[in-house]
Structure 1
Amino acid sequence: SLQLLKMLASTIGTTGKHLRREISEIVFTISNIRDILRHGEKHPFLQKLSIDILTSLALEGDATERIGDTGGVLQELFNIFFKYGIPEDRKGVNLTVAAGEALAMLALESKSNCHRILKLKLLRRLVEALKDPLLRVNSARILRNLCIYSGSEFFHQLRGVTAATPIILQAIMSEENKIQEVMAGLSANVFKYMTSQESRISFEEARITVAELANKLVEIIKKHKCPSTNVPRIRRFTVELAIWMMKDRVENIYTFKDLGMAEALKGALETTSELENFNVFCGTVGLNRHRLTTQSLFETALELMESRQNINQCKILQNQLADLDEL
């Protein structure tokens, strides 16, 4: 019956949307799944099916809230996620990844679920999990969603995420593809919890200069000339980080300009796609649209560089006029 339920919950299109709503409205569905997660340790296959069902149901906002509001579901998912940090078999790997994906989905665009997760006091473990090869992708996704959707109520608690900044920076510099994508996505949101002085210290701890990071971001944009289904958000996350860097310190604008970011972005503007504007997909249909399109982000970054250029031109003109006055 779980296999049938999984098949129904993962149906695409309008039919799938209706089925997920119907399934989540059955009063025993989520609590029964919770019991399987809690007591089904000897049946990892059933646990995996149950987690997959939750992930599919979380495609619908109402279902997401029902899942989070059912006592113990989030805690049981975290228990599974952290339990198999170093799994002994493939089943453990599958469970860990599935639990992480479910938690990331449940935190996506859900302020209430983000608050529930933060109340579990697991932020430090999520930060530590960024060092674990098996856990780091979904840990980064969960942390990013917590930073974006929690609101101001937990600002002080979320400052604990800043401890991960050196790890995040090193991953952006040394990794590729999915890990690089999720770390870039997390970084721009972590920096907003830091002062400029704190961010400079983080760069020092990571033994990375701002110029080196800027160069890496330009390389990423140049490398990914077109959006990819494997890393559909890597370009937008890269530009989000670049925008933060330029707003944080004026000199970073000059650094990006000298490295050719403006030219790279102008080329990227010609290849933007709807693929880059969504957080998740159901089949080929995009769900959870980003508030700003990738096109808008690229244009914002270009405007930052161009506005600084205009200011410089004005200053040069003012200096020239002053020289003429002296003559």
Structure 2
Amino acid sequence: MLILNKLASFDLENCIEISRATGLISKIIEFTSSRTEMTNINEAQQTLLKGSSLELLRRFSSTKGEFGVILRQKISENLFLLNHLADILDDSGSSHELRELTSELLRNLAMEGNIKDEIGHIRVIISRLMHAFLSQDALSSTDSDQRLRMKSGQALAVLAMESANNCLVMLAEPGYVFIKELTVMIHGGRYRYIASSLLRNMCVHARSGLRNSDLNEISYILREVLKGITDAEGTELEVLIGLSSQICNVIPEDFAQELEHGQIKEGFIKRLVNALNSNMIPTAHCPGIRRVIVEHAIYMMEFNPAYASYFNNCQMMEALLTVERKPSRAENYRFLLGDAGLMKHSMPLSALVARAKELMGH
């Protein structure tokens, strides 16, 4: 396994050859089991074998491009893998390193989308990921604790995307007031963007499960989110605008009141238009930033048609026409790994642009 790991880290061609070897990936996955039939190795050696197997699977699952898609599909088709990963997370004796590798592997596999709900049906996986991300024990300042918390949160964020089932499972997990836990993180630094992504998906996919107290918690963070949009750039800006957009969609009265109360309505709209103009060329780090800005404008104008005049005054129509003239296939996906797009959006950006133009009277 150590030799295979070194070969895989050397170049992509080695990964291709390893994956083509008959039965090898299945054997590697077998080594992640806690119930191995090997009797000629002791417990310490078995832990090392499990760790090196997870490391190799993590490396395979993070491969970029078209071959990465094939590898993730090949790994996820194994009928026993998810149960092995659940056992690792559920075993109190598992090290931070094993849990971290498992969380990262789950995150990578969930990016393909076809296995996301299957992962969510194994409740212990989401339960243990939530415990690692939200538990007070995770507040330890050690590097290993922080890495585990980050990887667990990232896995949850990807599992929540485009999955109503997973969002509702997270919302119903006993022992946590999930929305409140996430809103507290918005005021912090290290995990605020993971929390923002999770909150956005809760608003999109678990609206029926949100209580009035949850909506109040979301309303309380609105000022902090709007302030963050003023300063953020790149991926962080995309995440925060995406969250703000959904807050506007779910509790539009509170959103409008915050804009009026803070006397920031014109400044905020101008910020959206400027961000749209400055991100006309999508990048691999934030392929969806134009999409979330247009969505936000739509939600605002659908709630209050008077916002259309403010967008017109800020030359939003000109920006929309530029988006229309310069579409990008990359914007059809939530993630880009190399030249491969993952998790395709159901609605094309062109349809959103058309709706925004309609609301602006074009």
State TM-score, norm by structure 2.
0.75
Instruction: Give the number of aligned pairs.
Output: 301
User: CA, structure 1 residues 211+273, in 2 after alignment: closer, same or farther (shift >3 Å)?
Assistant: same
Note the C-alpha offset of 1:93: 3.5
User: CA, structure 1 residues 156+278, in 2 after alignment: closer, same or farther (shift >3 Å)?
Assistant: farther
Note the C-alpha offset of 1:118: 0.7
Matches within 5 A, 1:72-221: 72-82=124-134, 83=136, 88-120=141-173, 121-150=177-206, 152-154=208-210, 156=212, 158-160=214-216, 161-196=218-253, 198-204=254-260, 207-221=262-276
Given that 1:44 and 1:91 are in contact with CA atoms closer than 8 Å, whether structure 2 keeps it comes out as yes
Note the C-alpha offset of 1:59: 3.1
User: CA, structure 1 residues 204+95, in 2 after alignment: closer, same or farther (shift >3 Å)?
Assistant: farther
- State the partner residue of 1:66: 118
Q: Which amino acid aligns with 2:349?
A: T
- State the partner residue of 2:107: 55
Q: Which amino acid aligns with 1:29?
A: H
Q: Does 1:289 align with 2:344?
A: yes
- State the partner residue of 2:25: none
Distance 2:335 2:59 in 1: 18
Q: Does 1:7 align with 2:62?
A: no
Match of 1:97, SS? Answer: helix
Q: Among 301, 308, 312, which residue is 1:253 paired with?
A: 308
Match of 2:259, SS? Answer: helix
Given that 1:6 and 1:52 are in contact with CA atoms closer than 8 Å, whether structure 2 keeps it comes out as yes
Given that 2:88 and 2:102 are in contact with CA atoms closer than 8 Å, whether structure 1 keeps it comes out as yes
Structure 1, residues 54-80: CA drift from partner, whole Å, max 9, x if none? 112323545323332324322322222
Distance 1:150 1:280 in 2: 22
Distance 1:27 1:47 in 2: 13
Match of 1:231, SS? Answer: coil
Q: Among 333, 340, 355, which residue is 1:278 paired with?
A: 333
Given that 2:171 and 2:178 are in contact with CA atoms closer than 8 Å, whether structure 1 keeps it comes out as yes
State TM-score, norm by structure 1.
0.83
Note the C-alpha offset of 1:95: 2.2
User: CA, structure 1 residues 220+76, in 2 after alignment: closer, same or farther (shift >3 Å)?
Assistant: same
Q: Which amino acid aligns with 1:220?
A: A
Distance 1:247 1:214 in 2: 15
User: CA, structure 1 residues 225+9, in 2 after alignment: closer, same or farther (shift >3 Å)?
Assistant: closer
Distance 2:88 2:324 in 1: 45
Note the C-alpha offset of 1:176: 1.9
Deviates most, 70-79 or 269-278? 70-79
- Gapped regions of structure 2 (runs ≥ 5): 1-52
Q: Which amino acid aligns with 2:132?
A: I
User: CA, structure 1 residues 162+291, in 2 after alignment: closer, same or farther (shift >3 Å)?
Assistant: farther
Distance 2:109 2:117 in 1: 10
Structure 1, residues 98-118: CA drift from partner, whole Å, max 9, x if none? 111100111112221111111
Q: Does 1:233 align with 2:288?
A: yes
- State the partner residue of 2:13: none
Given that 1:137 and 1:178 are in contact with CA atoms closer than 8 Å, whether structure 2 keeps it comes out as no
Given that 2:187 and 2:224 are in contact with CA atoms closer than 8 Å, whether structure 1 keeps it comes out as yes
Distance 2:337 2:124 in 1: 27
Given that 1:147 and 1:158 are in contact with CA atoms closer than 8 Å, whether structure 2 keeps it comes out as no
Given that 2:335 and 2:342 are in contact with CA atoms closer than 8 Å, whether structure 1 keeps it comes out as yes
Distance 2:345 2:112 in 1: 16
Given that 2:334 and 2:343 are in contact with CA atoms closer than 8 Å, whether structure 1 keeps it comes out as yes
Note the C-alpha offset of 1:276: 1.3
Note the C-alpha offset of 1:144: 1.1
User: CA, structure 1 residues 289+156, in 2 after alignment: closer, same or farther (shift >3 Å)?
Assistant: farther
Give identity over the alignment, percent: 26
Question: What is the CA RMSD across the aligned residues, in angstroms?
Answer: 2.4
Structure 1, residues 272-320: CA drift from partner, whole Å, max 9, x if none? 211112123454322221122122222221222134xxxxxxxxxxxxx
Distance 1:171 1:267 in 2: 26
Given that 1:20 and 1:60 are in contact with CA atoms closer than 8 Å, whether structure 2 keeps it comes out as no
Given that 1:111 and 1:151 are in contact with CA atoms closer than 8 Å, whether structure 2 keeps it comes out as no
User: CA, structure 1 residues 87+268, in 2 after alignment: closer, same or farther (shift >3 Å)?
Assistant: farther
Match of 2:282, SS? Answer: coil
Given that 2:130 and 2:152 are in contact with CA atoms closer than 8 Å, whether structure 1 keeps it comes out as yes
Distance 2:154 2:206 in 1: 18
- Gapped regions of structure 1 (runs ≥ 5): 308-327
- State the partner residue of 2:30: none
